[in-house]
Structure 1
Amino acid sequence: MTETALTTDRPLAGKTILMSGGSRGIGLAIALRAAADGANIALLAKTDTPHPKLEGTIHTAAEQIRAAGGRALPILGDVRDDESVTEAVLKTQGEFGGIDIVVNNASVIDLSGSLDLAAKKYDLMQDVNVRGTFMLSRAAVPVLKDAPNPHILSLSPPLNITPRWLGAHTGYTLAKYGMTMATLGLAAEFAKDGIAANTLWPRTTIATAAVQFALGGDRMMKVSRTPEVYADAAYAVLAQPAREYTGQTLIVEDVLEAAGITDFSGYAAVPGTPDDQLFPDIFLD
C-alpha cells in the first residue's frame, strides 16, 4: 500500500490482534501488514508441524511476524474447541495486556454439491466457519470492551441470496453466510459498547492454497491477486473508528478505492495480468 493512500502514523502500533488460523495465506498476510506497524499478533491455529502440501506453521508464521516488526504469540489450539478458545483469549490478554482486534480468518472450503458433500465435511465447515467465528468473537468481547478502538473482522462474503450462489455449493454457502450473519449480529448487539464488527471479501480470487487445491490449481492461481490486496484492505478497515465503521459487508477493492488506491496492478499474482483477465471470486455478481 502506498504511504500516501493511508495515514502513515502506524495506527496499529501496539495494538493486539487475536486471529484464528494465520499460519499461511491471507491470514498471515494480514498479520504481517499489522506487524509492520508494530502490532502484537496472537495466532490460534492447529498447524504445529509442517504439512506435506501446505507451507507454514504457527511457529514459522510467528518468526515472520517478528521479522516484520511485530510481537507474536503462537497458540496451538483448535477454534472448534471451547477450551482452546478460552485459553487463547486468556493467553493473549496475559501476554499483551488486552485485545484490540479479533480476526476470524480460519475457514474450511468444500464446493461439493449437496449429494456429494460428506456429512463430516458439512459439520467441519459449520464448526470452523460459523461456530468458530461466533465463539472466538464472543469469548473476546469482554476484553474488547476495554479497548480504545475494538474491531472484529471476519473474512466472509456479503449475503447474496440469489439462486446462483445459494445453489452453487449449498453446504459451503451456508457456512460462509453463517460467518457473515454471526458478525453482523455481533455488530448490532455490541454497537452500544463501541465494538465494530465487519466482514471483508475480495472481488477476485486470491492466490492461496484454498484456491489452488479447491478451485482450480495453478491455472486459477495465475489469474488471481496476491494475499497482500486483502491485507491492505483489512489494515484500512482496522484503522477506522470503531463506533462509526461497523455492521458492513465490505469488498476489498471498494475499501482500497476509498483509501485512495485505484491501481491494483501491483497485486496481480502474475505481474502484468490485466484486471479484466482476473478470475472473479464466488458470491459476487
Structure 2
Amino acid sequence: MQELAGKTVFITGGTRGVGRAIALKCARHGARVAVAARRVEDCAIVDEIRAAGGQGLAIACDVRNEQQIEAAIAQTVREFGSLDVLVNNATTLVLKGTMEITMDEYDLMATTNARGAFAATKFALPHLQRSTNGHVLTICPKPQLDAQWFARNLAYTSSKFAMGLMAFGLAAEQKPHGVASNALWPFTTIDTDGLAECGRPELQARPRKPEIMADAAFWIVTQPSRAFTGNFCIDEIVLRETGVSDFGPYSAVPATPLEDLSRDHMVAPEQLARLVELRGQ
C-alpha cells in the first residue's frame, strides 16, 4: 500500500540513525522525502530514498540557523509542491553534569533540540495547515517532574523536556487548523551514531535498531490528524497496540530477551505500566 503517495515528509537530522530509518520507511510507502542535516555531501540518502520507492531531496541545513531552516522548508515546497509531515528528529546529545558540561555544549543542545524543533515547526506550519492531513512528530520524551531524570544529565534532560512541552502545546494551538502534534520516544536505547558517541557503554550493550522507531513513526503520521494529536507515544507500545507481536527482528544484538534490552531513560511510569500490561496479554 502507498499510504503516503503524493505526500511530502520533511525530516530534520534525516541522513542517519532514526531520521534515516523514518525517511526510508516513508519512501517505501510512496512519500516524497526531504532530509535536512548539517552535512549532506557524500551522503547516499537520496539514492536510498529513490531505491525504496520515493522521491528524495537532501538539504544542507543547520536547524540552529532560522534562515537556513526557513529556506530548507521553502525549497522542499518548491521541489515537491506541498508539505504534509514534519519530523523534528535533529538532536544533540551530551550526557554530562552541570559542572562538567561547557556552555558551548549547553548552547549546542539548547539551540539544536528545543529551539531547532520550534523553528522548523514555525516555518512548516503555513504549509501543514494547507495539508489534508498535516502532522508534526517530535522525537522527545514526555516531560516529567521526576528528580531521577535530571540528576545525571540536567542540561540534556531539560532540552528534551522542552521539546516535549512544545509538542504538547502545539497540539492545542493547532487543533483548530487540523494539524496534529505528537511525540515519540523509544523504550530501549537505539543503535545510532549518537548513542555510540555518548560515552555510556551500559546504554550501548543491547539496543534496538532504528527501524522500530521508524515503524512507530509511520503509524503515527498516517493517522487522521484531527483525531490523533497531543499524544506522548512509546515505540513498542504503539506497535503492540497496532498488532505487532514479534519484536525479535528489532534487536541490534540477535536473540536478546526483552528483559535484557538496554533501557532508555525518561520513560514515564504510566508508560512503563502500559507496556508491562501489553507484554502480559
The reply to whether residue 36 of structure 1 matches residue 20 of structure 2 is: no
In 2, Cα distance between equivalents of 1:257 and 1:12: 22
- Cα-to-partner distance string for 1:149-193 (whole Å, 9 max, x where unaligned): 000001001112211002221100111001111111111101110
Query: How far apart are residue 220 of structure 1 and its match?
Result: 4.3
Aligned to 2:273: none
1:224 aligned residue (200, 207, 211): 207
The reply to whether residue 201 of structure 1 matches residue 193 of structure 2 is: no
2:29/2:53 contact within 8 Å kept: yes
In 1, Cα distance between equivalents of 2:132 and 2:3: 12
Query: How far apart are residue 222 of structure 1 and its match?
Result: 4.1
In 2, Cα distance between equivalents of 1:154 and 1:243: 17
1:221/1:269 contact within 8 Å kept: no
1:18/1:103 contact within 8 Å kept: yes
The reply to whether residue 90 of structure 1 matches residue 74 of structure 2 is: yes
Aligned to 1:254: 237
DSSP-derived class of the 2:57 partner: strand
Q: For residues 151-162 of structure 1, what are the structure 2 equivalents within 5 Å? A: 151-162=135-146
Aligned to 1:143: 127
DSSP-derived class of the 1:38 partner: coil
- Cα-to-partner distance string for 1:102-127 (whole Å, 9 max, x where unaligned): 00010000110011110011011010
DSSP-derived class of the 1:43 partner: strand
The reply to whether residue 125 of structure 1 matches residue 109 of structure 2 is: yes
Query: How far apart are residue 216 of structure 1 and its match?
Result: 3.1
DSSP-derived class of the 2:219 partner: helix
The reply to whether residue 171 of structure 1 matches residue 155 of structure 2 is: yes
The reply to whether residue 244 of structure 1 matches residue 196 of structure 2 is: no
In 2, Cα distance between equivalents of 1:196 and 1:215: 35
Q: TM-score, normalised by structure 1?
A: 0.91
Query: How far apart are residue 215 of structure 1 and its match?
Result: 4.5
2:129/2:177 contact within 8 Å kept: yes
What one-letter code is carried by the residue in structure 1 that aligns with 2:26? A
1:279 aligned residue (244, 262, 265): 262
Moved over 2 A (4+): 219-222
Aligned to 1:6: none
DSSP-derived class of the 1:11 partner: coil
The reply to whether residue 16 of structure 1 matches residue 38 of structure 2 is: no
DSSP-derived class of the 2:44 partner: helix
2:139/2:184 contact within 8 Å kept: yes
Query: How far apart are residue 196 of structure 1 and its match?
Result: 0.3
What one-letter code is carried by the residue in structure 2 that aligns with 1:236? W
The reply to whether residue 100 of structure 1 matches residue 84 of structure 2 is: yes
Query: How far apart are residue 89 of structure 1 and its match?
Result: 1.4
The reply to whether residue 191 of structure 1 matches residue 183 of structure 2 is: no
Give the gaps of 5 or more residues in structure 1.
1-8, 50-56
- Cα-to-partner distance string for 1:83-107 (whole Å, 9 max, x where unaligned): 1111111111111111000000100
Aligned to 1:45: 37
2:19 aligned residue (10, 16, 27): 27
2:204/2:262 contact within 8 Å kept: no
In 1, Cα distance between equivalents of 2:195 and 2:124: 30
- Cα-to-partner distance string for 1:121-143 (whole Å, 9 max, x where unaligned): 10110100000000101111011
In 1, Cα distance between equivalents of 2:102 and 2:226: 41
Judged with a 3 Å threshold, the aligned counterparts in structure 2 of structure 1 residues 167 and 222 are, in CA distance, closer, same or farther, namely: closer
